[in-house]
Amino acid sequence: MNPRRWAFPAALAVAVIGALGVVVALLAAQVGYAGLLAPVRALADPGIRHAVGLSLGTATAAAGLAVAVAVPAAYALARHRFPGAAVVDTLLDLPVVLSPVAVGVALLLVLRSAPGRWVEDHLVRFVFEVPGIVLAQFTVATALAIRVLKAVFQGVDVRYEQVARFLGCTPWGAFRRVTLPLARRGIAAAFILAWARSVGEFGATVTLAGAVLGKTETIPVAIYLRLAGVDVTGAVALMLLLSALSLVVLAGVRFLGGGAR
């Protein structure tokens, strides 16, 4: 056999097996430590049920808000050229690359400024409160959603909108009747990615909303608190729970993205 013929495919196979091995090792270690039913048993704990409910609720709210902001923002960035567009584009990427803890600290500083204090006193309390979790997740998830949706909208040919305009649609009408339906799958995928990013968010959440037991305790915060209390079994049970939830979400992305025309 000529080694040149199988060396490359073999290298590819090794890479795939290696990457898969890491994931399998991660899951197997968790299952081996705590048992496959540990997440189910963990759900018997009302504190953990609260953490799961809080995580799902805040992540859904944050992802919903993120997509609501990202759709128009990404559409504007995808369709319009304006002076400084590249600067805006780069700035919007910052929350994605910044360490989440740094984002959390920056949010705290904003809320400690005079306008921030006014918002805290008169509108919504964020610091050490549930809305703080949503704000922290939203800040990180929006940047991600804009990035994804800009590519989605660039993928919708502007000709469709132009034709719709000449058929009588206003810019909003063309967006609603043509662009949005054509971007439907992309928007769903952006929501799921924003949701996934939010549900696992720890750094910004714990900095802004704190780790208040039974109040601002999301799943990642709960894992951290278990570890801090040397309850490794409890932490691993939660990790498995988070893994299971994440797998469901990733499968959803595949389903929505893979079936796209």
Partner 1 sequence: MIRAEGLCVRFGTFRLDGIDLRVSPGESFFVLGPSGAGKTLLLEALLGIRRPAAGRVFLGDRDVTLLPPEQRRVAYVPQDLALFPHLSVRDNLRFGLAARGRPPPDADARIAQWVDLLDLGEVADRKDVSTLSGGERQRVALARALVTEPRVLFVDEPFSSLDAALRRRLQVEFRQLQQRLGVTVIQVTHDPEEAFLMADRMAILMGGRIEQAGRPADLYNRPANLRVARFLMLQNLYSGTVEGKTPDGLLEVAVPDAAVTLRASDGDGFGPGDPVVVGIRPEEVILLKPDRPDPAPGEHPNLVAGEVAGWVDLGHYRLVRLRVGRIELDSWLNIRAAREFPMAPGQTVRFHVRPWSLCLLPPEPGSP
Query: In the complex, which residues of this chain contact partner 1 (CB under 8 A)?
Result: 157, 159-160, 162-171, 173, 177-178, 181-182, 184, 261
| CB closer to partner 1, 114 vs 166 | 166
Spatial distance between the Cα atoms of 79 and 184, rounded to a whole number of angstroms: 17
| CB closer to partner 1, 69 vs 169 | 169
| CB closer to partner 1, 23 vs 167 | 167
Shortest distance (Å) from residue 257 CB to partner 1? 17
Check: CB of residue 217 under 8 Å from CB of residue 50: yes
Shortest distance (Å) from residue 15 CB to partner 1? 36
Spatial distance between the Cα atoms of 186 and 261, rounded to a whole number of angstroms: 11
Phi/psi class of residue 245: alpha, beta or left (left: φ > 0; alpha: ψ in -120 to 50)?
alpha
Shortest distance (Å) from residue 161 CB to partner 1? 9
- Please name the residue that has the structure tokens 């714990």: 206
| CB closer to partner 1, 71 vs 223 | 71
Shortest distance (Å) from residue 121 CB to partner 1? 45
Shortest distance (Å) from residue 178 CB to partner 1? 6
For the chain, how many residues are written? 261
| CB closer to partner 1, 28 vs 167 | 167
Spatial distance between the Cα atoms of 200 and 23, rounded to a whole number of angstroms: 17
Spatial distance between the Cα atoms of 168 and 174, rounded to a whole number of angstroms: 9
Structure tokens at 108: 């705290």
Closest CA to 129 of 21, 22, 219, 205: 205
